[in-house]
Chain A
Amino acid sequence: MIKVNTEDYPWHAGMTVRNLLDEKQFTFRHIIVRVNGEFVPEEDYEKWLIQDGDDVLVLHLMAGG
């Protein structure tokens, strides 16, 4: 189990940041991802492996016009 934006979410072996974003259908382009507080650059989404117990923050940066 991992945390995604403070809520429990099931973890599976080999889960990358990209997998997580796809599973959660987080399609908004303008986001910030942090894993255990560490910023993950967009070019690393495919290769960054999420570990069981990780605390993932996916901040959507939109505040409306």
Chain B
Amino acid sequence: MGTIIKDYSYTPAKIKRGYSGKSLYINLSDLRIEQKEITEFMKEKFTGGKGFDLWYLWHAVTPETRWDSPENEIVMSVGPLGGITQYAGTGKTLLCSISPLTDIPIDSNVGGYFGPLLKFSGWDAFELQGKSEKEILIFIDGNNGRIQIEEAEEYPEDTHLLAEELTKKYAENEDDMVNVSVVCSGSGAKHSYLGMLNFSFYDPRRKVCRFKQAARGGLGTILHDKKVKALVVKYRGVKPNLNDAADISTINKVGVKYHKEVHDLDHKQNKMRQIGTANTVMIMSQYDLLPTRNFQTGGDPEAVKISPEVFINEWLTQGLHDGCWYGCTMSCAKCADHFLITTGPYAGQRVTVDGPEYECAAGLGANLGVFDPQAILEENFYCDTYGIDLISFATCTAFIMECYQRGQITREQMGGLDLRFGNSQAVLELMHQISRGEGFGRIAGLGIRKLKKIFVEEFGADPKLLQDIGMEVKGLEYSEYAHKESLAQQGGFAMATKGPQHDEAWLIFMDMVNKQIPTFEDKANALYYFPMFRTWFGLVGLCKLPWNDLVPADNYKTDSPAKVPEHVQNYVDLFNAVTGKHIDNEELILQSERVYQFQRVFSVRMGKGERKDDYPPYRSLGPVSREEYLSRQELYDKQLRELQKLDPETMDLDEKIAATRRYREDQYEQLMDAVYRRRGWTENGIPTPERLKAIGMDLPELLEVIEPKL
């Protein structure tokens, strides 16, 4: 037990209609703890969750603030629906901070118990500012209204050990362990910009701490830099109406209807209860969307070795409840129990591995050319316990591997690591090096944008090639979907506010297969509606998966099945039932747009968020190399004939690649114009004062940022 250096008492606020009305502020530099009021203005303009986070962050930082500036904050909030237990996916916490990878606000959502327990402890939001001198942990006791800051140097660093020790320490007995949740990172976050945050939930059946990750953008790196080893909350007494809902019977009714759908339909649809999000690996490969060997191709015959059936039959425990918050019958947080580790500091030990989720199997598997489920699970375990965002790690490592295989960097420059595609042992060793802060690991964890600079300036690599194959935009690595044949998704990634993560829009099937959005205007409409709608989950505390990873049996009869209208109505009903307000579908989109446009202006304020920042690497748009062109020659030749009226028979391969590139880059420019118009932005990507006024966001501080840019 470390020395307690701060002890603070408070009276936990009672939650009313989804809000406690209070937020917690802790300054680590001077150990100041304060309470702030959640104002009506905040609820009106920002709703909650990411909205509250961004509003607080805006006031904490200046345009000069960088990720490691003391004034940078990690802010988290669960939103007004967070913590209800009658519907699936109601425990998501949203976090924001200025990212070490992008220098602009990052947002990341995460399950686990911390957010809801924090709210039930009286806090709608939590701001962490300043930097501690010594390594500390913060403990929030929500039943007794107490916050303690404790020195924490002697605790272990890696997540699976640290969370278990802290859960035991703060629980009174075994039954009490479900009431404790820990947020922490790991040794990898200390030595890289890829650090993520693990949020724990105790699994009483397996008797282990399980984890969900706030993965994107380096949040774990920031927590480490602030010298915070862990945040711990404890709240005993979770029950159905802690949110003081205005209309509990509607919540119960909507919940029962949804749970019945899960029971009746999940096994016929996406099998989320059996395999979770990794159910799509083979589908992605069959539709040419599984990123393989640094996004060069969209699938591989070997993908069958990492198919859902392999994980279900050989690795993942079946039949146990795997919800990451109470009441989630979708129960997709699968895991491999008693998994034997073969490398690194935990070799020989048996552990529980949370996953693999789709991004893991696709990123640490296919994108690295690793088609070995055991290796993928071990990579998954180490990313989690070291606190490394596996998406950024995977995309970064895939880039390094391609640079190596194309002769842009040498084995010696990588400290002897033989990082060729498929070498999972070298991948694991790279992770261990990042964890130890040694060798090539010190460079590899800086993210693709910084790696490009180092490889060019120090290793003499070709800047144009690296620009084409380095899968990042705004400094953030792409998530794991190949998308060369979907123009809409190219925009969905590269025009996403925080960087290329698919949580704003996933339009590949609508665009590429269904051909539902053929024109630029159609695509722009989709790139308006879906990012706005999807933003809303992060405002209110909900998980997106129950929205569209299961659809009602008669969804096909609706006008817009991709929107899953019945589930959207469920959300409107839930919001109204908790808060007592009377929103409709349009108001829901408006709530989102206010925050969406705010975040764009925030990025502009921090020096990104203009047209120049929305360009993808060419690998996103089309074939960079001869091999890529040849792998789909028939398709590309056909496009030359039909779209450009060229005769591929009269062209050599390089001419065909160049013509394809010219066409696709021009298409992307036209898409940008259409999307910017639809979103109410100038040609340069700046939200216009008129648009801000129309949605009630013409706040003086926003106008001050955009006016010089108009």
A59 to B679 CA separation, bound complex (whole angstroms): 27
B287 within 8 A of A: yes
**A2-22 to B contact mask, C-beta < 8 Å, 1/0:** 000111000000000000000
Q: How far is the CA of A60 from the CA of B544 in the complex (A)?
A: 18
Partner of B548, one of A7, A58, A63: A63
- Are the C-beta atoms of A62 and B515 separated by less than 8 Å? no
Nearest-neighbor residue (CB-CB) of B265 within chain A: A30
Q: In the complex, what residue of chain A is closest to B510 when comparing beta carbons? A: A63
Contact for B514 among A5, A30, A64, CB less than 8 A: A5
Give Cα A26 to B513, complex, Å: 9
How large, as a class, is the contact surface on chain B? 35 or more
Answer whether residue A1 sits at the interface, using C-beta atoms and an 8 A cutoff: no
**9-residue interface stretch from B222-230, B381-389, B551-559, B598-606:** B551-559
| Contact assessment for A27 and B283 in the assembled complex, using a CB-CB cutoff below 8 Å | yes
The DSSP consensus for interface residues of chain A is loop
Instruction: Known A27-B286, A28-B287, A39-B557; judge A65-B358 contact (CB<8 A).
Output: yes
Contact across chains for A5 and B513 when beta carbons are under 8 A apart = yes
Residues of A within 8 A of B544 (CB): 65
- In the complex, what residue of chain A is closest to B533 when comparing beta carbons? A63
CA distance A30 to B502 in the complex (A): 20
Cβ of B508 under 8 Å from chain A: yes
Which residue in B269, B282, B502, B515 is a CB contact (below 8 Å) of A6?
A: B515
| CB 8 Å contact bits of A26-65 with B (1 = contact, 0 = none) | 1111101000000100000000000000000111111111
B514 touching A25, Cβ below 8 Å? no
Complex Cα distance, B299 from A27, in Å, reads 14
* A48 smallest CB distance to B (angstroms): 15
Nearest B-chain residue to A34, judged by Cβ? B556
Contact B561 A32 (CB under 8 A): yes
Residues of A within 8 A of B270 (CB): 30
Among residues of B, the one whose C-beta sits closest to the C-beta of A57 is B514
A32 to B553, CA, bound (A): 11
Given contacts A30-B269, A59-B514, A63-B548, 11 further A-B contacts (CB under 8 A): A5-B515, A26-B513, A27-B286, A59-B561, A60-B513, A61-B562, A63-B506, A63-B510, A64-B505, A65-B277, A65-B358
CB pairs A–B below 8 angstroms (28 shown) = A5-B513, A6-B518, A7-B515, A27-B282, A27-B283, A28-B283, A28-B287, A29-B268, A29-B269, A30-B269, A30-B270, A57-B514, A60-B509, A61-B509, A61-B561, A61-B562, A62-B280, A62-B506, A62-B509, A62-B548, A63-B530, A63-B548, A63-B562, A64-B481, A65-B358, A65-B502, A65-B503, A65-B545
